[in-house]
Structure 1
Amino acid sequence: MVKFFIPRRRKSVAGEIVLITGAGHGIGRQTAYEIAKRQSRLVLWYINKVKKEVGDVIIVVNNAGTVYPADLLSTKDEEITKTFEVNILGHFWITKALLPSMMERNHGHIVIVASVCGHKVIAYLIPYCSSKFAAVGFHRGLESELEALGKTGIKISCLCPVFVNTGFTKNPNEVAKSLIDGILTNKKMIFVPSYLNIFLMLQKFLPERFLAIVNRMQNIQFKGVIGHKVKMK
């Protein structure tokens, strides 16, 4: 209750090296704009970047993601593999590369960009949802492990925006601002919009018929390959 009425204290990220993956568009690009306002040293990683060229990264935003909307039988094997390589394995490789220097200082911040689909499934997005569930699990596991190791100076945040259209949110400004606010206040789980957190808690107690009605009311639409034909779902 105290945290609800009293604003959280914000930390300074001025002068910190911030690495943002998938910075060419959407959430990654808008997050870069917001971070730049706070006088951080930005590394915008869209395809490749060598660690030795930038030094020890203090804040990393694992934003890169991909999605192939289709029913399971229409989804190509290589699309399933690519989804997991980008959406979850990328978190492992980047974190393993940058975490050692953070642990030496017991200082840093890692952002896992997941999705509301990491908490709630949507039809015709089985690989995407599965990879995002894995990303949420990675966030929770890493947080628990760092606490067990006594590295509490390293903060972990998980960003979960609502799924819209092709997997890229159509309101990146709102998402980026919520993300920055979450980083500066060391928030663990960041939902956009914020009311999703309440809905996800309630769905554990509400009857399945009611949840099915709510899902239909959301009217989430995107182009997907259904039965080998492109349709709006």
Structure 2
Amino acid sequence: MDIQQFAHAFFFPFHMIFCILKATFGLLLPTRRKDLQGEVVLITGGGRGIGRHLAKEFAGQGCKKVILWGRTEKCLKDTCQEITLTGTECHYFLCDVANREEVYKQAKVVREKVGDVTILVNNAAVVHGKSLMDSDDNALMKSQHINTLGQFWTTKAFLPRMLELCHGHVVCINSILSLASIPGAIDYCTSKASSLAYMESLTLGLLDCPGVASTTILPFHTNTDMFQGMKVRFPHLFPPLNPELVAQRTVEAVRTNTAFVYLPWTMRALVILKSFLPEVALEEIQRFSGCYTCMDTFKGRT
């Protein structure tokens, strides 16, 4: 080991302590919030659930234009009309993010008809809620294509222009299940874990790109149609999140350039527990803190 390597190894623990202290003090200080006036936001899966509330929240924060992508025209149309009534310009386009060519085609249409997208929100997702052996192969592939690969295509479609403008934000609505998997939803947990790895890599890659940032939201069980029928072991201790709250915290994270948001904040404990506790102990803690106990009707999409 040469002198330089020795120096890095020696100072590494001190550097880690400094980073922890810096982050701790950062939580105590007020954060500057950026103005969303003039922003053009595109939300995948924007017709219902969290996507619908995101559209309303971004519009309420002054975004110039809101664009909705999804696969169900009625939901998109209803949400678009609701946003338009608030005075914000809103457009919707039918687009299946699992279809790469369709994403690129519709992205071109958006640029021509609406303009440059400055905030991309990857919210579209599906879940089938079955074990591996009970899952249809096509359903398993569908989850991976929509929940993970769809983000590849949308980001490739809109990020280059953001980098040219030195202005933009990429958002991912992920799930705490990307960090703490559960039985009976193997397709969803796997796709969300892949999505988290994707966003972590993207976030690091954007550190050297001035004006362009990213945000990953990791919510607990959210009370939407997508998870209708889910039961939590201790509903009074760990009630499902309200989709309005998830939308509000997402927009707040964009305004403060927060990279990762855990909802509720107590879910941060999972990261620590997975680092220090063995498999069996973590399983018991998950059962206590909110393991899902009913999977039979756990299926949906956004």
Does residue 54 of structure 1 match 2:114? yes
Partner of 2:29: 6
Does residue 120 of structure 1 match 2:143? no
Q: Which has the larger radius of gyration?
A: 2
Does residue 220 of structure 1 match 2:292? yes
Contact in 2 for aligned 1:15/1:39 (Cα 8 Å) = yes
Higher helix share: 2
Q: Distance in 2 between matches of 1:146 and 1:182?
A: 16
Q: Distance in 2 between matches of 1:77 and 1:102?
A: 36
The CA RMSD measured in Å over matched residues stands at 2.1
SS of 1:144 mapped into structure 2: helix
Q: Distance in 2 between matches of 1:34 and 1:137?
A: 27
Q: Which amino acid aligns with 1:20?
A: I
CA offsets, 1:31-67, max 9 Å, x none?
1111111111111222325322221100011000000
Give the alignment's TM-score, normalised by structure 2: 0.70
SS of 2:129 mapped into structure 1: coil
Q: Which amino acid aligns with 1:17?
A: V
Partner of 1:194: 265
Q: Distance in 2 between matches of 1:73 and 1:53?
A: 45
How far did residue 221 of structure 1 move?
A: 3.6
Unpaired segments ≥5 residues, structure 2: 1-23, 72-93, 95-105, 229-239
Contact in 1 for aligned 2:177/2:193 (Cα 8 Å) = yes
Greater RCO, CA 8 A, separation 6+: 1
Q: Distance in 2 between matches of 1:38 and 1:126?
A: 36
Partner of 1:133: 193
Unpaired segments ≥5 residues, structure 1: none
Q: Distance in 2 between matches of 1:135 and 1:92?
A: 9
Give the alignment's TM-score, normalised by structure 1: 0.89
Query: How many matched pairs?
Result: 225
Q: CA 1:66 to 1:219, structure 2 compared with 1: closer, same or farther past 3 Å?
A: same
Does residue 42 of structure 1 match 2:66? yes
Which structure 2 residues correspond to residues 202-213 of structure 1 after superposition, within 5 A? 202-213=273-284
Contact in 2 for aligned 1:20/1:61 (Cα 8 Å) = yes
How far did residue 72 of structure 1 move?
A: 0.6
Partner of 1:159: 217
How far did residue 198 of structure 1 move?
A: 2.7
Q: Percent of pairs identical after alignment?
A: 34
Q: CA 1:185 to 1:205, structure 2 compared with 1: closer, same or farther past 3 Å?
A: same
Q: CA 1:164 to 1:17, structure 2 compared with 1: closer, same or farther past 3 Å?
A: closer
Q: Distance in 2 between matches of 1:117 and 1:27?
A: 17
Which structure 2 residues correspond to residues 11-30 of structure 1 after superposition, within 5 A? 11-30=34-53
